[in-house]
Amino acid sequence: MAEASIFLHDHELDKEDISIVCRKIEEITGRPVISKIFKRGKNVFEQGTLLFVMAKDEDFREWLKHIRHADIRVAILPYEKNRLCRESYAIPGELVEAVKLAEAENVHLLSNQVLCNKKIIIGCASAGESGWVGGIGAKATMKSIFKNLFSLKLFPLQIETAKEKEISTASLLVEAGAEAVMQAKRPYFFKESDNQCRRIASVVYAPQSILGALKLRFFLAKRKINPTETLPPGIGTLKSERITLKSGSAKPIHLTLDGIKEKTKEISFETIETKSKIVTGWKGCVSGEEKESLRIQNLPQDGDLINFFTRRSLPLVPIASEEAFAELFMKLRNSAKISAGYLLLLLVSVLMASTGLFQNSSPTIIGAMILAPLMAPIVAFAMGAIRFDNTLMRRSTKTILLSVAIALAASALYAWLLPFTHITDQMSMRTHPTLLDLAVAVFAGIAAAYGYTDSKVAESLAGVAIAVALVPPLCVSGIGIGWGSWSLFSNAFLLFLANIVGIIVASGAMFYVLGYASSRYASTAFFIKLLMVAVIAVPLYLSTRTVVAEEKIYSRFEKFKRVVVGNTPIDIRLSGISHTPEGYYAKFSVITPRELNTSEKEKITATLQSKLGRDIGIIITYRYRH
């Protein structure tokens, strides 16, 4: 008679379910099955016995320490109360598949257990803010994600490995467990390995800003399955046969062990050999030494950085590295300097833009925008303002003011010398600034700041210069001086000021977001910049109201582009809108196939007046087509 298998089941399982499981095991294995109630305490089994176990996670964990020295084989069966066991040991969720796994020839048998502070763990243990990572996935709510977000703080940590490698760092959370368990739990952080039997694997989470923590949180929620060649910022991984975590301060570490919480000053992970063997769905292990693997380049290891992140809550944005600071400041200081090359480019761009304005040529003006170097000192001033760097602000202010003076003088002299006195469409376009122009400047400032911090997108700065158009309105202002026209000068110069304010505010904010300024200075700088926006927004708002009013007239006109007078179809075109202190005037061109009499013209005027409203003046020009 074949040797019987034993089915250990939870005492809550009813007789019918027990009978069904026993029949399935007998059908697949061809051996009789003896069912017994699962008990946590010591059990005596014959050598080589195959046990099928259906028990709760907490009961199974406690039971493991009593069977360490028993030469038995344990096959876990799926049960609604052993989810942790199934996930950790890669057990199929179907009863038939789980039994077949136990009978497979090349199945992996686990002959060791992972201990955390001398306690057996099935899944993984976490040290630190375990609630920050917990609940990731569909069940995570926005409340759980943002709860206590602005009070997140790293804790100082000392890590020691089996090879006596010592690491000083700071962390928000550390997860550790058997390598195979961690490989399945966080596959995107670990490279595939054929040796997943003896090593402890650990993930160290050390986001260095609130935005970094959110980004990391959502990265985890995506559950990527491909391992990353380079770890995300704020992530480190370790693999060793033994890992010890020690608190770097007087405060204990919060430890969560398979759902059980406690506080301790030191946490040790190790692997012990067992005679009992657990059937798993893991890959088999090859012989040979299992090397340590340390990927910790993304963790804070400098003493000053560790102190910075452990003595206060995480900053809103990441702090840029010293190398990035040095490179950016060198670039901006050079941009703020006045050089012969800078002055030559500025003068050429001003004269080129002025020529394009008189020619009414968009391509010529666009070429001048690309040449103009005026964006650089404005961005440099934004950085000086956000950091209260007086030297950078003085240097960039001097460059900006001299540039404006040269541009106004050159374009004014150019306009005075040329025998043209009429305003072209390209000039007129720069004399009606609105809040939309301020919005364009804001977007351009964001792009410019990002371009200066990232060399990969720096080549796009020419497009930014075209979008914001600093030189053309400045040239129109100079032309207004040359012609003695205050309205032309003031309206165009308002557009230029709006562009400068938008760039300074937006690029300063972007530098802060990218970590090039501390919150200590940023709040004051932002207040000053908001005042600048408020001051420039008032006249822009008034100008925007004018444009909106004009748009209403255009929308009313859309409804009646053609009328019929005496069986004759009449085409009506709105050629323009002018506004004076007395009100708005709509200019119409009426095109007819014949000459109209006075009554017909009065009818057209009355029709237009009724459609537009009595508050809008009407100027009509009649044209006859033959």
pLDDT in tens, 137-182: 434 445 555 556 777 889 999 999 998 899 999 999 999 999 888 8
Residue 458 binned pLDDT confidence (cut-offs 50, 70, 90): low
The distance of Cα 236 from the centroid of its chain, to the nearest Å, equals: 20
Residue 374, pLDDT score: 84
Helix%, strand%, coil% for the chain, nearest 5: 50, 20, 30
Token pair belonging to 296: 């910790």
Task: Strands of 81-165 (E only): list them.
Answer: 108-116, 119-121, 124-128, 155-161
Domain with CATH 2.60.200.40 in the chain: 119-274+282-310
**Which amino acid belongs to residue 312?**
R
> CB–CB of 563/611 below 8 Å?
no
Report pLDDT digits (tens) over 465-485: 565 678 889 999 999 999 988
Query: What value does the mean pLDDT take over residues 604-626?
Result: 75
* Beta bridge partners of residue 261, listed in sequence order: 256
Percent of the chain at pLDDT > 90 equals 31
Domain with CATH 3.30.70 in the chain: 559-624
Q: What angle do CA 456, 459, 461 make, to 5 degrees?
A: 115
Alpha carbons within 13 A on the beta-carbon side of 610 = 7
Query: What value does the mean pLDDT take over residues 83-100?
Result: 93
Residue 462, pLDDT score: 59
Residue 153, pLDDT score: 86
Residue 135, pLDDT score: 47
Task: Strands of 265-345 (E only): list them.
Answer: 266-280, 293-295
CATH match of 5-105 with 3.30.360.10: no
CATH of the domain spanning 322-547:
1.20.1080
In whole angstroms, what is the distance from residue 224 CA to residue 427 CA? 54
In whole angstroms, what is the distance from residue 570 CA to residue 407 CA? 49
* Beta bridge partners of residue 238, listed in sequence order: 202, 294
In whole angstroms, what is the distance from residue 60 CA to residue 285 CA? 24
In whole angstroms, what is the distance from residue 558 CA to residue 394 CA? 53
CATH of 559-624, one of 3.30.70, 1.20.120, 3.90.1520, 3.30.420: 3.30.70
- Least confident range of 240-254, 357-371, 503-517: 503-517
Report pLDDT digits (tens) over 332-350: 888 778 888 889 989 999 9
In whole angstroms, what is the distance from residue 417 CA to residue 496 CA? 24
Domain with CATH 1.20.1080 in the chain: 322-547
Residues ≥6 apart with Cβ < 8 Å to 449: 379, 382, 506, 507, 508, 510, 511, 514
Phi, psi of 83 (to 5 degrees): -55, -40
In whole angstroms, what is the distance from residue 313 CA to residue 131 CA? 17
The chain-wide mean pLDDT, for the chain, equals 81
Phi, psi of 521 (to 5 degrees): -90, -30
Residue 285, pLDDT score: 65
CATH of 119-274+282-310, one of 2.60.200.40, 4.10.220.20, 3.30.390.50, 3.30.930.10: 2.60.200.40
Angle between helices 519-557 and 598-612 (to 10 degrees): 150
Query: What value does the mean pLDDT take over residues 493-501?
Result: 87
CA-wise closest residue to 433 among 545, 354, 577, 352: 545
> CB–CB of 446/454 below 8 Å?
no
Residue 245 binned pLDDT confidence (cut-offs 50, 70, 90): very high
